[in-house]
């Protein structure tokens, strides 16, 4: 039986985000970088390829960056289902994102529903609220319909760039309105 990695399930979404981030950087709009998970190399073959290794520590988030003086951190998630399981939001990531937010940054998730070809920005607070409801006996997933209702939809720029920065502006407007 072959061993199957559960990693790299967000490759399409991450590729779209990476293309967008290159565009943002090259046009002086934002600087957002992919954060790699540190790997401890145990063995390499004669060509320098890693043949045995392990993750040195848990990853935090997929991306960290700056846009117009605002610090951003976010994670990319995708699913073929009509819902997104709350099990995909890991405690160590949520804790990191919460700390990031407490220090003045903006934390969120970009979620891709493949079946619907729909992309959403889900604010950290929204995800935390869903996790709290699940802990109190509520639903253990976020349905697509709730993302349509409460999430911030993402569009495309030039037909191939996932243009998520306008959604961040919407998110910031929501946060500002909550403080008033």
Determine the pLDDT at residue 7: 47
**What pLDDT score was predicted for residue 155?**
92
Contact (Cβ atoms closer than 8 angstroms) between residue 81 and residue 111: no
Q: Which token pair is 104?
A: 């003045």
Q: What integer pLDDT is reported at residue 55 of this predicted model? A: 53
Quick one: pLDDT at residue 78?
Answer: 94
How much is the pTM?
A: 0.83
CA pair distance 12, 17, nearest whole angstrom: 9
Judge whether 61 and 35 are in contact, CB under 8 Å.
yes
- Count: domains in the chain: 1
For the chain, which ranges sit under pLDDT 50? 1-10
- Decide if 152 contacts 164 (C-beta within 8 A): no
Domain contains 4: no
Tokens of 114: 């493949």
**Model pLDDT, residue 24:** 96
Domain of 62: which CATH number? 3.40.1350.10
91-102 and 124-135 helices, crossing angle to 10°: 130
Is residue 5 in some structural domain? no
Give the residue numbers spanning the domain of 77. 11-179
Domain annotation covers residue 145: yes
């Amino acid at each position: 039986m072959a061993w199957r990695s559960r990693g790299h399930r967000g490759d399409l979404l991450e590729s779209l985000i990476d293309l967008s981030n290159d565009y943002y950087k090259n046009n002086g709009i934002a600087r957002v970088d992919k954060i790699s998970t540190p790997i401890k190399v145990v063995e390499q073959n004669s060509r320098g390829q890693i043949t045995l290794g392990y993750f040195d520590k848990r990853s935090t988030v997929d991306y960290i960056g700056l846009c117009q003086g605002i610090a951003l951190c976010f994670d990319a998630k995708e699913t073929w289902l009509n819902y997104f399981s709350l099990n995909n939001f890991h405690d160590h990531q949520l804790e990191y994102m919460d700390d990031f937010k407490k220090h003045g940054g903006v934390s969120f998730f970009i979620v891709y529903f493949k079946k619907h070809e729909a992309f959403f920005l889900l604010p950290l607070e929204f995800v935390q609220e869903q996790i709290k409801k699940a802990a109190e006996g509520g639903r253990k997933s976020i349905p697509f319909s709730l993302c349509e209702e409460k999430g911030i939809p993402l569009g495309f720029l030039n037909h191939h760039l996932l243009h998520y920065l306008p959604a961040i502006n919407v998110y910031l407007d929501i946060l500002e309105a909550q403080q008033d």
